[in-house]
Amino acid sequence: MPGPEGFDFRVRKDGSVVITHHGNPATTLRGRGAAQFLDDVEDGDDQELMARVTGNYKHGNEREARQHPRNRGR
């Protein structure tokens, strides 16, 4: 399964981090959260990390939800 893509981030002068998804602002991290994010970006997959931070990632129940009776025929 391909990983998340389309995320980007920039660090502002005040130290806050703005995360965007396909050019649209997704979230802003400030203070300790921004510092932790920047440390984690250096260590791992930045796209996966940004998806987790913004909450924009697959939860594993998409197939089950598609087969639910109220979603059939969509």
Please indicate, yes or no, if residue 20 is contained in any of the structural domains: yes
Please indicate, yes or no, if residue 1 is contained in any of the structural domains: no
Question: Which residue in 38, 16, 18, 15 sits closest to 27, CA to CA?
Answer: 18
Please indicate, yes or no, if residue 24 is contained in any of the structural domains: yes
Structure tokens at 35: 């510092």
If one counts the domains in the chain, the total is 1
For 14-60, the pLDDT digits (tens) are 999 999 999 999 999 999 999 999 999 988 788 888 988 888 666 66
Q: Is the entire prediction scored with pTM above 0.75?
A: no
Range of the domain at 49: 7-71
Alpha-carbon span 3 to 46, nearest angstrom: 11
Please indicate, yes or no, if residue 54 is contained in any of the structural domains: yes
Please indicate, yes or no, if residue 31 is contained in any of the structural domains: yes
